[in-house]
Amino acid sequence: MTERITFTRPDDWHLHLRDDALLSGTVPASARQFSRAIIMPNLVPPVTTVEQAMAYHQRILAQVPEGLDFTPLMALYLTQQTSVEDIAKAAANPAIIGFKLYPAGATTNSASGVTDINALADVFAAMERLEVPLLVHGEVTDADIDIFDREEVFIERYLKPLHQRHPQLRLVLEHITTRQAVDFVASANSKVAATITPQHLLMNRNDMLVGGIRPHHYCLPILKRKSHQQALQQAALSGNPKFFLGTDSAPHTQDKKEAACGCAGCFSAPAAIELYAELFFQHDAMDKLEGFASHFGADFYGLPRNTDQITLEANSWTVPASVDIAGSPFVPYWANEPLHWRLI
Protein backbone atom coordinates (compact mmCIF):
# COMPACT_ATOMS: atom_id res chain seq x y z
CA MET A 1 0.00 0.00 0.00
CA THR A 2 1.34 3.43 -0.96
CA GLU A 3 2.25 5.58 2.03
CA ARG A 4 0.32 8.82 2.42
CA ILE A 5 0.34 11.70 4.87
CA THR A 6 -2.63 14.04 5.33
CA PHE A 7 -2.36 17.31 7.24
CA THR A 8 -3.80 20.82 7.53
CA ARG A 9 -3.60 22.80 4.30
CA PRO A 10 -0.47 24.97 4.49
CA ASP A 11 0.05 28.69 3.88
CA ASP A 12 2.90 30.51 2.15
CA TRP A 13 3.97 33.48 4.23
CA HIS A 14 6.25 34.96 1.55
CA LEU A 15 5.37 34.78 -2.16
CA HIS A 16 6.08 36.66 -5.39
CA LEU A 17 3.36 36.31 -8.03
CA ARG A 18 4.42 39.12 -10.39
CA ASP A 19 1.54 40.68 -12.32
CA ASP A 20 -0.58 40.83 -15.48
CA ALA A 21 -0.17 37.84 -17.83
CA LEU A 22 2.15 35.98 -15.45
CA LEU A 23 -0.64 35.67 -12.87
CA SER A 24 -2.29 33.09 -15.13
CA GLY A 25 0.51 30.67 -14.20
CA THR A 26 1.84 31.82 -10.84
CA VAL A 27 -1.51 31.98 -9.04
CA PRO A 28 -2.63 28.43 -9.92
CA ALA A 29 0.82 27.05 -9.02
CA SER A 30 0.47 28.31 -5.46
CA ALA A 31 -3.30 27.87 -5.09
CA ARG A 32 -3.03 24.12 -5.77
CA GLN A 33 -1.28 23.66 -2.41
CA PHE A 34 -1.65 26.77 -0.24
CA SER A 35 -4.76 28.29 1.30
CA ARG A 36 -3.26 31.74 1.92
CA ALA A 37 -0.15 33.59 0.87
CA ILE A 38 1.46 36.91 1.69
CA ILE A 39 1.99 38.65 -1.64
CA MET A 40 5.16 40.67 -2.01
CA PRO A 41 4.70 44.27 -3.24
CA ASN A 42 7.88 44.78 -5.29
CA LEU A 43 6.15 45.29 -8.61
CA VAL A 44 7.10 48.07 -11.01
CA PRO A 45 5.89 50.52 -9.79
CA PRO A 46 5.81 49.16 -6.22
CA VAL A 47 2.56 48.60 -4.33
CA THR A 48 2.73 51.41 -1.79
CA THR A 49 -0.94 52.27 -1.15
CA VAL A 50 -4.02 50.41 0.00
CA GLU A 51 -5.74 51.30 -3.26
CA GLN A 52 -2.93 49.78 -5.35
CA ALA A 53 -2.91 46.69 -3.15
CA MET A 54 -6.64 46.12 -3.48
CA ALA A 55 -6.49 46.46 -7.27
CA TYR A 56 -3.65 43.91 -7.31
CA HIS A 57 -5.70 41.73 -4.94
CA GLN A 58 -8.54 41.63 -7.47
CA ARG A 59 -6.19 40.76 -10.35
CA ILE A 60 -4.89 37.82 -8.31
CA LEU A 61 -8.35 36.56 -7.34
CA ALA A 62 -9.39 36.63 -11.00
CA GLN A 63 -6.75 33.94 -11.71
CA VAL A 64 -7.64 31.50 -8.90
CA PRO A 65 -8.80 28.27 -10.58
CA GLU A 66 -12.41 27.29 -10.08
CA GLY A 67 -12.88 24.99 -7.13
CA LEU A 68 -9.81 26.22 -5.23
CA ASP A 69 -9.92 28.52 -2.21
CA PHE A 70 -6.92 30.86 -2.17
CA THR A 71 -6.67 34.07 -0.16
CA PRO A 72 -3.97 36.62 -1.05
CA LEU A 73 -2.82 38.66 1.94
CA MET A 74 -1.37 41.91 0.68
CA ALA A 75 1.86 43.51 1.90
CA LEU A 76 2.54 47.18 1.23
CA TYR A 77 5.96 48.43 0.18
CA LEU A 78 7.55 50.56 2.92
CA THR A 79 9.28 53.65 1.58
CA GLN A 80 10.97 56.66 3.07
CA GLN A 81 7.73 58.54 2.40
CA THR A 82 5.40 56.10 4.20
CA SER A 83 3.39 58.03 6.80
CA VAL A 84 1.62 57.29 10.06
CA GLU A 85 -1.63 57.87 8.17
CA ASP A 86 -0.64 55.15 5.70
CA ILE A 87 -0.13 52.75 8.59
CA ALA A 88 -3.57 53.55 10.04
CA LYS A 89 -5.25 53.06 6.68
CA ALA A 90 -3.57 49.69 6.20
CA ALA A 91 -4.46 48.60 9.73
CA ALA A 92 -8.14 49.22 8.99
CA ASN A 93 -8.16 46.90 5.95
CA PRO A 94 -8.29 43.16 6.74
CA ALA A 95 -6.83 42.28 3.31
CA ILE A 96 -3.58 44.09 4.21
CA ILE A 97 -1.25 41.94 6.31
CA GLY A 98 1.59 44.41 6.91
CA PHE A 99 4.46 46.39 5.39
CA LYS A 100 7.57 45.04 3.67
CA LEU A 101 10.89 46.68 4.40
CA TYR A 102 13.35 46.42 1.52
CA PRO A 103 16.66 48.21 2.04
CA ALA A 104 17.12 50.17 -1.18
CA GLY A 105 18.97 48.05 -3.74
CA ALA A 106 18.88 44.82 -1.72
CA THR A 107 17.03 42.66 -4.26
CA THR A 108 14.81 42.62 -7.35
CA ASN A 109 12.79 45.83 -7.79
CA SER A 110 13.96 47.32 -4.49
CA ALA A 111 15.21 50.67 -5.77
CA SER A 112 12.31 52.43 -4.04
CA GLY A 113 13.17 50.84 -0.70
CA VAL A 114 14.20 52.37 2.60
CA THR A 115 17.41 54.40 2.71
CA ASP A 116 17.30 55.51 6.37
CA ILE A 117 15.66 53.12 8.83
CA ASN A 118 16.27 55.40 11.79
CA ALA A 119 14.23 58.19 10.18
CA LEU A 120 11.08 56.04 10.28
CA ALA A 121 10.75 55.90 14.06
CA ASP A 122 7.24 57.40 14.04
CA VAL A 123 6.11 54.90 11.42
CA PHE A 124 7.44 51.95 13.42
CA ALA A 125 5.81 53.32 16.57
CA ALA A 126 2.47 53.48 14.74
CA MET A 127 2.91 49.92 13.48
CA GLU A 128 3.67 48.80 17.02
CA ARG A 129 0.63 50.60 18.43
CA LEU A 130 -1.76 49.39 15.70
CA GLU A 131 -0.31 45.87 15.63
CA VAL A 132 0.70 46.04 11.96
CA PRO A 133 3.49 43.52 11.21
CA LEU A 134 6.80 44.56 9.67
CA LEU A 135 8.22 42.05 7.17
CA VAL A 136 11.95 42.56 6.74
CA HIS A 137 14.41 41.76 3.98
CA GLY A 138 17.36 41.75 6.34
CA GLU A 139 20.45 42.76 4.40
CA VAL A 140 22.65 45.82 4.27
CA THR A 141 23.62 47.04 0.83
CA ASP A 142 26.92 48.81 1.54
CA ALA A 143 29.40 48.13 -1.24
CA ASP A 144 32.17 47.38 1.23
CA ILE A 145 30.22 44.61 3.02
CA ASP A 146 30.80 41.10 1.67
CA ILE A 147 27.58 39.70 0.17
CA PHE A 148 27.82 36.65 2.45
CA ASP A 149 27.89 38.93 5.53
CA ARG A 150 25.04 41.27 4.64
CA GLU A 151 22.40 39.54 6.76
CA GLU A 152 24.59 39.29 9.86
CA VAL A 153 25.57 42.96 9.62
CA PHE A 154 21.95 44.04 9.14
CA ILE A 155 20.85 42.18 12.27
CA GLU A 156 23.55 43.80 14.40
CA ARG A 157 23.34 47.27 12.90
CA TYR A 158 19.58 47.70 12.47
CA LEU A 159 17.38 44.81 13.57
CA LYS A 160 18.51 44.40 17.16
CA PRO A 161 18.25 48.15 17.88
CA LEU A 162 14.85 48.31 16.16
CA HIS A 163 13.55 45.45 18.29
CA GLN A 164 14.91 47.08 21.44
CA ARG A 165 13.22 50.39 20.63
CA HIS A 166 9.92 48.77 19.60
CA PRO A 167 9.68 45.49 21.53
CA GLN A 168 5.97 45.04 20.80
CA LEU A 169 6.34 45.52 17.04
CA ARG A 170 5.42 42.26 15.33
CA LEU A 171 8.49 41.59 13.20
CA VAL A 172 9.20 38.84 10.67
CA LEU A 173 12.73 38.37 9.40
CA GLU A 174 12.10 36.96 5.96
CA HIS A 175 13.99 34.15 4.19
CA ILE A 176 16.66 33.80 6.85
CA THR A 177 19.99 32.35 5.72
CA THR A 178 22.43 32.38 8.65
CA ARG A 179 23.02 30.93 12.10
CA GLN A 180 23.06 34.51 13.39
CA ALA A 181 19.51 35.02 12.12
CA VAL A 182 18.35 31.79 13.77
CA ASP A 183 19.95 32.85 17.05
CA PHE A 184 18.42 36.35 16.93
CA VAL A 185 14.92 35.08 16.26
CA ALA A 186 15.13 32.29 18.82
CA SER A 187 16.36 34.63 21.57
CA ALA A 188 13.97 37.53 20.84
CA ASN A 189 10.54 37.85 22.42
CA SER A 190 7.35 36.31 21.04
CA LYS A 191 6.77 39.24 18.66
CA VAL A 192 9.67 38.10 16.43
CA ALA A 193 9.55 35.23 13.93
CA ALA A 194 11.17 34.12 10.67
CA THR A 195 10.35 32.45 7.38
CA ILE A 196 12.64 29.90 5.73
CA THR A 197 12.72 29.03 2.02
CA PRO A 198 13.13 25.57 0.48
CA GLN A 199 16.34 26.53 -1.32
CA HIS A 200 18.06 27.65 1.87
CA LEU A 201 17.04 24.43 3.60
CA LEU A 202 18.00 22.07 0.78
CA MET A 203 21.15 23.75 -0.55
CA ASN A 204 24.22 25.73 0.38
CA ARG A 205 26.59 27.84 -1.69
CA ASN A 206 28.54 24.80 -2.92
CA ASP A 207 25.41 23.70 -4.78
CA MET A 208 25.40 27.03 -6.61
CA LEU A 209 29.13 27.40 -7.31
CA VAL A 210 31.03 24.09 -7.36
CA GLY A 211 31.55 22.70 -10.85
CA GLY A 212 30.19 25.82 -12.52
CA ILE A 213 27.74 28.60 -11.67
CA ARG A 214 24.11 27.45 -11.54
CA PRO A 215 22.03 30.57 -12.13
CA HIS A 216 18.71 28.99 -11.18
CA HIS A 217 20.05 28.54 -7.64
CA TYR A 218 20.98 32.22 -7.38
CA CYS A 219 18.73 34.11 -5.00
CA LEU A 220 18.94 36.97 -2.51
CA PRO A 221 19.82 36.64 0.26
CA ILE A 222 22.41 34.40 -1.36
CA LEU A 223 22.96 30.77 -0.33
CA LYS A 224 25.45 30.52 2.52
CA ARG A 225 27.96 27.91 3.72
CA LYS A 226 26.87 24.46 4.93
CA SER A 227 27.06 25.33 8.65
CA HIS A 228 24.42 28.02 8.14
CA GLN A 229 22.26 25.61 6.13
CA GLN A 230 22.43 23.15 9.00
CA ALA A 231 21.36 25.84 11.48
CA LEU A 232 18.32 26.61 9.33
CA GLN A 233 17.48 22.92 9.09
CA GLN A 234 17.67 22.56 12.85
CA ALA A 235 15.35 25.55 13.29
CA ALA A 236 12.78 24.22 10.81
CA LEU A 237 12.85 20.72 12.29
CA SER A 238 12.83 21.88 15.91
CA GLY A 239 9.12 22.47 16.28
CA ASN A 240 9.88 26.03 17.48
CA PRO A 241 6.81 28.05 16.39
CA LYS A 242 8.97 31.10 15.63
CA PHE A 243 10.08 29.45 12.37
CA PHE A 244 7.64 28.74 9.56
CA LEU A 245 7.18 28.31 5.82
CA GLY A 246 7.75 31.14 3.37
CA THR A 247 8.84 30.06 -0.09
CA ASP A 248 10.02 33.39 -1.49
CA SER A 249 9.12 31.77 -4.81
CA ALA A 250 10.20 34.34 -7.39
CA PRO A 251 9.67 33.58 -11.07
CA HIS A 252 11.97 34.96 -13.75
CA THR A 253 11.96 33.84 -17.38
CA GLN A 254 14.73 31.45 -18.38
CA ASP A 255 16.54 34.05 -20.48
CA LYS A 256 16.58 36.51 -17.55
CA LYS A 257 18.19 33.90 -15.29
CA GLU A 258 20.64 32.54 -17.87
CA ALA A 259 22.12 35.92 -18.76
CA ALA A 260 25.33 37.90 -18.36
CA CYS A 261 23.69 39.51 -15.33
CA GLY A 262 21.15 36.96 -14.13
CA CYS A 263 18.15 37.73 -11.95
CA ALA A 264 17.99 36.68 -8.30
CA GLY A 265 15.16 34.35 -7.35
CA CYS A 266 14.13 30.70 -7.25
CA PHE A 267 10.77 29.71 -8.75
CA SER A 268 9.81 27.03 -6.24
CA ALA A 269 6.01 27.27 -6.47
CA PRO A 270 5.55 24.35 -8.91
CA ALA A 271 6.76 21.91 -6.22
CA ALA A 272 6.83 23.96 -3.02
CA ILE A 273 5.20 21.72 -0.45
CA GLU A 274 6.93 18.67 -1.93
CA LEU A 275 10.29 20.45 -1.56
CA TYR A 276 9.69 21.11 2.12
CA ALA A 277 8.51 17.52 2.55
CA GLU A 278 11.84 16.39 1.08
CA LEU A 279 13.73 18.01 3.94
CA PHE A 280 11.48 16.62 6.66
CA PHE A 281 11.56 13.18 5.00
CA GLN A 282 15.37 13.18 4.80
CA HIS A 283 15.53 13.88 8.54
CA ASP A 284 12.83 11.38 9.53
CA ALA A 285 10.68 14.24 10.82
CA MET A 286 7.51 14.14 8.73
CA ASP A 287 5.52 14.53 11.95
CA LYS A 288 7.00 18.07 12.27
CA LEU A 289 5.98 19.24 8.78
CA GLU A 290 2.41 20.22 9.66
CA GLY A 291 3.41 22.63 12.41
CA PHE A 292 6.05 24.34 10.26
CA ALA A 293 3.91 24.49 7.11
CA SER A 294 0.36 24.88 8.41
CA HIS A 295 0.16 26.06 12.02
CA PHE A 296 2.97 28.32 13.18
CA GLY A 297 2.58 31.12 10.62
CA ALA A 298 -1.17 31.42 11.16
CA ASP A 299 -0.67 31.47 14.91
CA PHE A 300 1.99 34.18 14.70
CA TYR A 301 -0.15 36.43 12.50
CA GLY A 302 -3.19 35.87 14.71
CA LEU A 303 -5.19 34.17 11.96
CA PRO A 304 -7.25 30.99 12.29
CA ARG A 305 -5.62 27.78 11.24
CA ASN A 306 -7.01 26.30 8.04
CA THR A 307 -9.66 23.61 8.44
CA ASP A 308 -9.21 21.81 5.11
CA GLN A 309 -6.42 19.35 4.41
CA ILE A 310 -3.99 18.18 1.74
CA THR A 311 -2.47 14.74 1.15
CA LEU A 312 1.05 13.89 0.09
CA GLU A 313 1.81 10.50 -1.39
CA ALA A 314 5.17 8.70 -1.29
CA ASN A 315 5.48 8.57 -5.06
CA SER A 316 8.83 9.59 -6.52
CA TRP A 317 8.63 12.05 -9.43
CA THR A 318 10.91 14.46 -11.26
CA VAL A 319 10.40 18.22 -11.28
CA PRO A 320 9.96 19.32 -14.90
CA ALA A 321 12.82 20.99 -16.74
CA SER A 322 10.63 23.93 -17.69
CA VAL A 323 7.12 25.30 -17.29
CA ASP A 324 5.34 27.64 -19.66
CA ILE A 325 3.65 30.78 -18.37
CA ALA A 326 2.05 33.20 -20.81
CA GLY A 327 4.15 31.80 -23.66
CA SER A 328 7.53 32.09 -21.90
CA PRO A 329 9.68 29.31 -20.38
CA PHE A 330 10.45 29.33 -16.65
CA VAL A 331 12.88 26.89 -15.07
CA PRO A 332 11.51 25.79 -11.68
CA TYR A 333 13.70 25.28 -8.66
CA TRP A 334 14.87 21.63 -8.44
CA ALA A 335 14.34 21.19 -12.21
CA ASN A 336 15.16 17.66 -13.48
CA GLU A 337 15.69 16.44 -9.90
CA PRO A 338 13.62 13.80 -8.06
CA LEU A 339 11.33 14.34 -5.08
CA HIS A 340 10.02 11.54 -2.88
CA TRP A 341 6.59 13.02 -2.09
CA ARG A 342 3.88 14.32 -4.38
CA LEU A 343 0.72 16.30 -3.70
CA ILE A 344 -2.41 14.41 -4.76
Cα(53)–Cα(73) distance, rounded to whole angstroms?
A: 10
Collapsing DSSP to helix, strand or coil, 189 comes out as coil
Residue type, 300: F
Residues assigned a catalytic role? 248
Spell out the residues 6+ positions from residue 146 whose beta carbon is closer than 8 angstroms to its own.
none
What string of DSSP letters covers 265-318? Answer: ----GGGHHHHHHHHHHHTT-GGGHHIIIIIHHHHHHT-PPP--EEEEEEEEEE
> What residues form the annotated binding site for substrate?
16-18, 42, 137, 220, 252, 264
Angle between helices 226-237 and 179-187 (to 10 degrees): 30
Per the rule left: phi > 0, alpha: psi between -120 and 50, beta: everything else, 43 is beta
Contact 156, 144 (CB under 8 A): no
> What residues form the annotated binding site?
14, 16-18, 42, 100, 137, 175, 220, 248, 252, 264
Closest CA to 302 of 5, 24, 94: 94
Helix or strand holding residue 187 (H, E) = helix 179-187
